[in-house]
Amino acid sequence: MTPMKEVTIGTQVWMSENLNVEKFRNGDTIPHAKTDEEWKKAGDNGEPAWCYYDNDPSNGEKYGKLYNWYAVNDPRGLAPKGWHLPSDEEWTTLTDLLGGLDAAGTKMKSKSGWEDEGNGTNESGFSGLPGGLRYSLGTFDGIGGYGRWWSSTEDYADYACFRSLGYSNGYAFRHIFNKEEGFSVRCLRDLTETSPRCKS
């Protein structure tokens, strides 16, 4: 496997690109949901799945893959060896270091690639790109305008915490969304994760 690009931010070491793997850490293949029906079925059954935005592999080259939260939480391990999925608390450590939710987004967004001149400074080196998302029914939305990244922290039975960056402001949005959606993934190196409930 090609070594992941990484960046040190404070005491944390983050991937500086979105995850683009199609196998779990144990070598099992992650199911590729190419159609709307396959994507919806995986979500309905609580099963892991990944896709490219618009099912176009060229989007994967730039933005990585989109994963549902069942892939994030699969015991076979979505993160490569030496990495783990960040908890909501670990995302908060990052955004606090970058000035809080109101200011962190500008420092996390890449210097190019965001629509309507919504680029960031990338002061952090996080290099956040607007990879969009896939809704539970299979439709795609937001490429060029939004980037959403899962945390490992669930909130009740059907929801999990995430972070979002958008073209129109400098916020690092923190909220919860349905586990069946497809978001980008970033990983943390060699950190012990804890997963308290997300207080939305």
Give 40-95 pLDDT, tens digit per residue: 999 999 999 999 999 999 999 999 999 999 999 999 999 999 999 999 999 999 99
Instruction: Express each pLDDT in 167-179 by its tens digit.
Output: 999 999 999 999 9
* pLDDT higher than 50, residue 199: no
For residue 107, how many C-alpha atoms fall within 13 Å in the half-sphere facing its CB?
14
Q: How far apart are the first and last CA of the chain?
A: 37
| pLDDT tens column, 93-146 | 999 999 999 999 999 999 999 999 999 999 999 999 999 999 999 999 999 999
In this structure, how many other beta carbons lie within 10 angstroms of the beta carbon of residue 196? Answer: 10
Q: What is the pTM of this model?
A: 0.93
**Tokens encoding 161:** 């915490």
Helix (H) or strand (E) holding 159: strand 159-166
For residues 192 and 119, give the distance between their C-alpha atoms in angstroms, rounded to a whole number.
32
Residue 150: which pLDDT band, with cuts at 50, 70 and 90?
very high
Q: Residue 191: pLDDT band by 50, 70, 90 thresholds?
A: low
Angle at 24 between CA 20 and CA 30, to 5 degrees: 75
53 vs 66: CA distance, rounded Å: 7
Which pLDDT band, with edges at 50, 70 and 90, does 4 fall under? confident
